[in-house]
Amino acid sequence: MSATVGRPDLASLSVGDVVGTVSVPVDRARLVRYAGASGDFNPIHWNDAVATDVGLPGVIAHGMFTMGAAVALVGDWAGDPGAIVDYQTRFSRPVPVPARGETHVEVVATVGAIEPDTRTVRVDLTVTHDGARVLGKSQVRVAL
Amino acid sequence: MSSVSVNLDFVGREYPANAPYSVGREKIREFAAATGSTHPAHHDVATARGLGYPDVIAPPTFAVIVAQRAEAQYIEDPSAGIDFSRVVHADERFTHVRPIIAGDELVTVLTVVSITQRSGLSMITTRCDIHALSSRAADAHAGGDDAPAPELVSTVLSTLAVRGEGL
């Protein structure tokens, strides 16, 4: 990788720096689209009857949709999404998605750790819906 | 009332490499669009090449598509005792040696890492080691006597929580 244009400068980063924020819109159409793109056709993500049968309040977003949507801003910040070498999360709470209209998942990405020896930055994602965290220990390692 | 329960005999089981998954450029674009991944390296070949890749690159969670196919060998095996209506996804982790790239032919070795049980909940952790059979580099060596060794591209760790009866 020779291209360095637009890459963050490791030396100018500090722990706690906000890398970016985004409000991710979520509606039923986006879940159907994610189901098709990912091949995850679990009906709890598109069928209210099935979702309530298993004790959910209604259709919920795929955890993997939220995980995938939350990390996009980190790839943009890095200037190369291929610089993401590790990404982990815990699915803490479901994101209920109404039959009409849309809801939002809020993402705040901050620098959690800097490792100059390996030129790696850990970016921590705070991902919330209705003020409560939906992803836990959501960490992205980026090789700069 | 106890019907199915998770079969602990599967711990440590390793499945042989599955049928190759061919990574398509349009599939990468479709997945990127579905996750709001607008960086041009996912969509535009020239941009990806400018970053040093031979073709468009997949977003970091694209590997779940490949991993899911391998995991199905275990999860959909009736003798594994996993009632899918009682499953929730607990944890996911992707570790990439390099991004997945359009044109990759990927095979996956699935391992059932652990099954732990506490208070009626079974936590099942699987690992998928995803290897490229014919990366562009391997194509460049085509014609040689030796088939190129599969190259580790990504490792996916996934933990499912299965609720027991009455929970």
Average pLDDT in chain A: 95
Chain B residues in contact with A91 by the CB 8 A cut-off are 88-92
pLDDT digits 0-9 by tens, A59-88: 999 999 999 999 999 999 999 999 999 999
pTM score above 0.80: yes
Q: How many residues in chain B?
A: 167
Task: Report which secondary-structure segment, H or E, holds B89.
Answer: strand B87-96
Residue B1, pLDDT score: 40
Q: Which residue of A has its CA nearest to B72?
A: A40
The C-alpha atoms of residue A118 and residue A10 are separated, in whole angstroms, by 11
The C-alpha atoms of residue B152 and residue A35 are separated, in whole angstroms, by 27
Interchain proximity A64–B92, CB inside 8 Å: yes
Interchain proximity B95–A80, CB inside 8 Å: no
Average pLDDT over residues B53-58: 98
A2 has pLDDT over 50: no
Task: Report which secondary-structure segment, H or E, holds B128.
Answer: strand B121-132
Q: Phi and psi dihedrals of B117, rounded to 5? A: -125, 130
Which residues lie closer than 8 Å to B42 by C-beta, 6 or more apart? A81, B28, B29, B32, B56, B57, B58, B59
Closest chain B C-alpha to A13 CA, distance in angstroms: 22
Among B86, B95, B99, select the one facing A86 at the smallest CB separation.
B95
Average pLDDT over residues B87-114: 97
Residue B84, pLDDT score: 83
Q: Is A67 on the interface with B (CB under 8 A)?
A: yes
Interchain proximity B38–A76, CB inside 8 Å: yes
The C-alpha atoms of residue B167 and residue B160 are separated, in whole angstroms, by 15
Distances (CA, A) of A134 to A61, A82, A98, B52: 11, 25, 16, 35
The C-alpha atoms of residue A107 and residue A25 are separated, in whole angstroms, by 11
Per residue, what are the HEC states of chain A?
CCCCCCCCCHHHCCCCCEEEEEEEEECHHHHHHHHHHHCCCCHHHCCHHHHHHCCCCCCECCHHHHHHHHHHHHHHHHCCHHHEEEEEEEECCCCECCCCCCEEEEEEEEEEEEECCCCEEEEEEEEEECCEEEEEEEEEEEEC
Disruptive mutation site among B31, B68, B89, B101 for chain A (greatest number of A CBs within 10 Å)? B89
Q: Is A49 on the interface with B (CB under 8 A)?
A: no
Distances (CA, A) of A111 to A81, A136, A144: 16, 16, 13
Average pLDDT over residues B139-164: 78
Chain A residues in contact with B98 by the CB 8 A cut-off are 82
Average pLDDT over residues B144-161: 84
B138 has pLDDT over 90: no
A3 has pLDDT over 90: no
Task: Report which secondary-structure segment, H or E, holds B66.
Answer: helix B63-75
The C-alpha atoms of residue A122 and residue A141 are separated, in whole angstroms, by 4
Q: Is A81 on the interface with B (CB under 8 A)?
A: yes
pLDDT digits 0-9 by tens, B101-135: 999 999 999 999 999 998 889 999 999 999 999 65
Among B31, B61, B85, select the one facing A67 at the smallest CB separation.
B61
Average pLDDT over residues A35-47: 96
pLDDT digits 0-9 by tens, A86-127: 999 999 999 999 999 999 999 999 999 999 999 999 999 999
Q: What ipTM was predicted for this assembly? A: 0.95
Which residues lie closer than 8 Å to A48 by C-beta, 6 or more apart? A58, A59, A99
- Which amino acid belongs to residue A105? V
Interchain proximity A89–B65, CB inside 8 Å: no
Mean pLDDT check: name the lowest of A6-20, A52-66, B139-153: B139-153
Interchain proximity B59–A90, CB inside 8 Å: no
Average pLDDT over residues B65-87: 94
Average pLDDT over residues B67-83: 96
Interchain proximity A68–B96, CB inside 8 Å: no
The C-alpha atoms of residue B158 and residue B167 are separated, in whole angstroms, by 22
Chain A residues in contact with B88 by the CB 8 A cut-off are 91
The pLDDT > 90 percentage for chain B reads 78
At how many degrees (to 10) do helices A63-78 and A28-38 cross? 80
B146 has pLDDT over 60: no
A1 has pLDDT over 50: no
B4 has pLDDT over 70: no
